[in-house]
Structure 1
């Protein structure tokens, strides 16, 4: 009387009975310990999420603080980076629930609502991060080809674009709240969160993630690649000037680093999202669940990398971070800057005076 086989992961077939469409059964001799042994990623995932939380929480909190409260002169890059840091922070604060879930043997004990919130925040962070990184790439290209553009107008545009991204991303994550994310596996007696898709909702989930993979990843990735290629071309044309060649080379290295980080973090997860749900939709026996769930976990490492990218991109950010660690207020920093400028001016004046005296003696 068995009518089909679902898959919680690649190694464990889950049988569904006619009289209970949501009953998940494993072979009677299969234990939870055996399942963990067969899948090393069950132990790897919580370790990666712990790293994400321990590094991502303080660094992104620091980044948000610096961008919002310590950076006085706003510019488009800082506006986009502030929003990127905020998106990462919103994700990182929910990571402890993922850690507890995996340490608890993939048994979700926090209820359907929190499961949906966790899933929605995960994907909203992913698509917000991709969108804001694309915006940063376009803005940096624009700064290279048009360095004399009006800052105030550009700032207003950056704010409007940022608000639009947040609104659109939150709207497109609404479907994640509309279908079940928590499913009870009766044979294991555990509640899974975003690990099992009900047969009746399979088409909805597959259609959603296939659409988001194209709109939320492929399109911004094309924008990033085109922007960085054009930027590299523009920088290469200015390498003939020896005075700026060194600074340009540093910019090229940074561009390549950001692009590689972007592709490494987001390409595997989005490809596996597409492949996993295509296989699920076609009722394939193996839907590459292990690779899929591991690639999603690796994508969260982006929340750790972003603050270090800010540190190397923005000289103002580096200075504000140092001042924050040294507990210097903005007023103290300004006094130090004025004193330094006065001292520098005084030295120049003495130098000019000395050269003048020397000149009159020679005459």
Structure 2
């Protein structure tokens, strides 16, 4: 027998042994099946509505064309692609934890989910870095960051690299797939490459997490110092409020992503060694719980935009109010229609002037030195969490 035939024979024996081991140790908890289906359905519905609304505001209602707007559009797109993977998971749990679409479709859906989760994580880190550099960076750096070209290039590179890494994962079988199963714990002693890749992504998350904490921590410190050193300024109270709210993004990041990635290292390590059936079941159930929190972030991101961005909030509320007004009012005559248009144009012009005088999404001015006396009416416009007040 040749060495190739021996290798194929060994691989076949291992695949059969792995499938027998999985069947002799059923991992899924029947009591979790219905709650998971319901929770993923709710995340899908609320996340879909919220991200479509956010995307509509960013593309058609928001006036500013800056780097943060580019990043937020891409976050919304990544969340929508991730959400598109959830109905497959709902169907899987609804059918009794049975996958009917074949192993290749399982790989496609699973890798798309994880790819867009990490794209979203990286983009949130880039937003924090963008805000930090525009507040704390040099004048030359601020001039470079003021435009949106760098954010367009960065997002293009991020998407390209993500697709380049995800496509081989989708195309190549691991050899340990169990028929009729998709979202379950798998041994990877003979698929170590993917296990090590997962560990690399865990390291990427912790790097982004540190950048995000440092950036927002420094932003909050600068804003608090500005409000304390110049309490007589008209916007001093706003600076303090903005500093406190700048911790909302790290808080959501911690709640949604930290449990998953704190557990992920133990999960991957267990896949590379022989463990008992009970330990496998514990790993599988814990992974389901922390992964649910990660998916929850996709429907909390739009809430974050609305709560932290004054310009997004105003644009959304004005658009909703206009829609409700149009549905509530009877059809107008030509003269009243003309008057309504004039009023709308006047209101839009007034809003534009107000927005120009306030902080708007992604356009930030550096806080000046403590030793510089600021005129009471010319203090800089300050942002919170990469979003406007």
User: If the TM-score is normalised by the length of the shorter chain, which range does it land in?
Assistant: 0.7 to 0.9
Say if 1:183 and 1:191, in contact at 8 Å, map to a contact too. Answer: no
Residue matched to 2:295: 300
Residues 1:27 and 1:267: Cα distance change in structure 2 (over 3 Å)? closer
Deviations 1:320-348 (A, max 9, x none): 21233223899975432336899xxxxxx
- Structure 1: distance between partners of 2:16 and 2:67: 55
TM-score (norm: length of structure 2) = 0.72
- Structure 2: distance between partners of 1:330 and 1:61: 27
- Structure 2: distance between partners of 1:100 and 1:71: 37
SS of equivalent residue, structure 1 residue 21 = helix
Per the TM alignment, residue 110 of structure 1 is displaced from its structure 2 partner at its CA by 1.6
Say if 2:125 and 2:212, in contact at 8 Å, map to a contact too. Answer: yes
Per the TM alignment, residue 94 of structure 1 is displaced from its structure 2 partner at its CA by 2.2
Equivalent of 1:214 in 187, 203, 211: 203
SS of equivalent residue, structure 2 residue 258 = helix
Query: Equivalent residues in 2 for 1:181-260 (5 A)?
Result: 185=178, 191-197=180-186, 201-215=190-204, 217-240=205-228, 241-242=230-231, 243-260=234-251
Residues 1:313 and 1:79: Cα distance change in structure 2 (over 3 Å)? farther
Residues 1:58 and 1:18: Cα distance change in structure 2 (over 3 Å)? closer
Deviations 1:127-148 (A, max 9, x none): 1111111011112223333698
SS of equivalent residue, structure 2 residue 131 = helix
With 237-246 and 144-153 compared, the bigger mean Cα shift is at: 144-153
Per the TM alignment, residue 81 of structure 1 is displaced from its structure 2 partner at its CA by 1.0
- Structure 2: distance between partners of 1:304 and 1:157: 27
Per the TM alignment, residue 272 of structure 1 is displaced from its structure 2 partner at its CA by 2.0
- Structure 2: distance between partners of 1:236 and 1:35: 50
Residue 320 in structure 1 maps to residue 315 in structure 2: yes
Gaps of 5+ in 1: 1-15, 343-363
Per the TM alignment, residue 95 of structure 1 is displaced from its structure 2 partner at its CA by 1.2
Residues 1:94 and 1:303: Cα distance change in structure 2 (over 3 Å)? same
SS of equivalent residue, structure 1 residue 238 = helix
Equivalent of 2:165 in 159, 172, 177: 172
Equivalent of 1:122 in 110, 113, 116: 113
Residue matched to 1:337: 348
- Structure 2: distance between partners of 1:100 and 1:331: 51
Q: Over alpha carbons, which structure has the higher Rg? A: 1
Query: Equivalent residues in 2 for 1:126-165 (5 A)?
Result: 126-145=117-136, 149-150=142-143, 153-165=146-158
Per the TM alignment, residue 104 of structure 1 is displaced from its structure 2 partner at its CA by 1.1
Deviations 1:115-138 (A, max 9, x none): 122111211121111111101111
Say if 2:174 and 2:191, in contact at 8 Å, map to a contact too. Answer: no
Q: Once superposed, what is the RMSD of the aligned Cα atoms?
A: 3.2
Residue matched to 1:60: 51
- Structure 2: distance between partners of 1:114 and 1:265: 26
Gaps of 5+ in 2: 1-11, 327-339, 354-389
Residue matched to 2:371: none
Per the TM alignment, residue 256 of structure 1 is displaced from its structure 2 partner at its CA by 1.2
Residue matched to 1:6: none
Residues 1:319 and 1:65: Cα distance change in structure 2 (over 3 Å)? same
Per the TM alignment, residue 206 of structure 1 is displaced from its structure 2 partner at its CA by 1.4
Residue matched to 1:3: none
TM-score (norm: length of structure 1) = 0.77
Say if 2:189 and 2:271, in contact at 8 Å, map to a contact too. Answer: no
Per the TM alignment, residue 74 of structure 1 is displaced from its structure 2 partner at its CA by 1.1
Equivalent of 1:20 in 12, 16, 25: 16
